[in-house]
Amino acid sequence: MYADIELNTNVNEKKTRYKLFKNVLNMLIKNKAALIGLIIIFLLIIVALFGKFFMPYDPYVGELSQSLQAPSAAHIFGTDEQGRDILSRIIDGTKISLRVGVTSVAVALSIGTVIGSIAGYYGGKIDMLLMRIMDIILAFPSLLLAIAFMSVLGRGIDKAVIAISIVTIPEYARIVRGCILTVKENEYVQAARVIGNKDSTIIFKHILPNVMSPIIVRATLGISTAILETSSLGFLGLGVQPPLAEWGSMLGAGRGYFYNAPHIVLFPGIAITITVLAFNLFGDGLRDALDPKLRK
């Protein structure tokens, strides 16, 4: 009998998720801003994966005799202080920015989900202890705390991922905890306990799949925040190090030439702006699409 109940529950959950996915997709298509953001994100992914086929020049080889050239037919975005083609470096920097942004969010989301699930499901002293630790991390500005971690860990892409992940874990932990607190006493959770499911099975199979909407939205918006923080660390000389073509480090290296050759900082700044805007537009549209009131 319990097996039949669980089977019917799983079938109903699959039907509900499919219907939800269909409704969300329709809402995203109707939302022009979200659709534009999604198209830009798709193009950025294409550039990150196949950028080497679009680069007109080697992004790490330059000629000093060609340094600080203004945009022209030969160099559409001009050249930097070492004579390297800026367009090629921006294309190459796309995969670095997306890699750090997506990886740091994935790590923070994974750890934050575990912490928030344990705190929300078990409650009591465990909840209090874990949330107080999260509160301590949240008490510091995220960028300032990331700079502190980079000072300890050192410089580089992997270190930037670790630093940004650590400072964003509390956000996901609190969201997951709040979601679990709202549904852990529902009937389907009680039924899962009655039929003898383990706590881990109840959390990750029955509870989390039903509260993923706000988590997915926050993760999407979190990518733009991670890219901004990566660029900020690179601008300060603490993140991805030269000669790697990271947009923030390009801004930092070109700020001394702003008055003589403003294109050096203009185009990397535009790349950061467009990327962050795309994820924000898509995240806002996804939030609206996952809102039950708006779907109705």
Tokens of 155: 């410089």
Question: Which DSSP state fits 79?
Answer: B
CA dihedral 144, 146, 151, 154 (to 10 degrees): -160
Query: For residue range 87-144, what is the model confidence (pLDDT) as tens digits?
Result: 999 999 999 889 989 999 999 999 999 999 999 888 889 999 999 999 999 888 888 8
Say how far apart CA 274 and CA 291 lie, in whole Å.
26
C-beta neighbour count of 234 within 10 angstroms: 29
- The pLDDT of residue 15 is above 80: no
How does residue 19 score in pLDDT terms, banded at 50, 70 and 90?
A: low
Q: List 85's β-bridge partners, or say none.
A: 79
Domains of the chain: 2-52+76-295 (1.10.3720.10)
Q: Could you tell me which of 74, 66, 95 has the C-alpha nearest to residue 275?
A: 95
Q: Across the strands, what pairs with 79? A: 85
Spatial separation of the C-alpha atoms in residues 289 and 276, rounded to whole Å = 20
The number of beta carbons lying within 10 Å of the beta carbon of residue 279 is 25
Q: Whole-prediction pTM value?
A: 0.84
169-191 residue pLDDT tens = 999 999 999 888 888 777 777 77
Going by pLDDT thresholds of 50, 70 and 90, the confidence category of residue 289 is: confident
* Residue keyed to tokens 């930092």: 252
Does residue 40 contact residue 274 with C-beta atoms inside 8 Å?
yes
SS3 28: helix
- Residue 153 tokens read as 């860990």
pLDDT band at 3 (very low <50, low <70, confident <90, very high): very low
The pLDDT > 90 percentage for the chain reads 32
Question: Given a cut of 80, is residue 283 above it in pLDDT?
Answer: yes
Q: Which of 267, 270, 271, 275 is nearest to 224 (CA)?
A: 275
Q: 124's torsion region: left (phi>0), alpha (psi -120 to 50) or beta?
A: left
What are the structure tokens assigned to 90, written together? 């921006």
Q: Band the pLDDT of 293: cuts 50, 70, 90.
A: low
Check residue 36 and give its pLDDT.
Answer: 92
CA–CA separation, 166 and 154 (whole Å): 15
Residue 264 CA from chain centroid, whole number: 26
Per-residue pLDDT at 104: 92
C-alpha to C-alpha distance for 165 and 159, rounded to whole angstroms: 10
Give the pLDDT band of residue 206 (cuts 50, 70, 90): confident
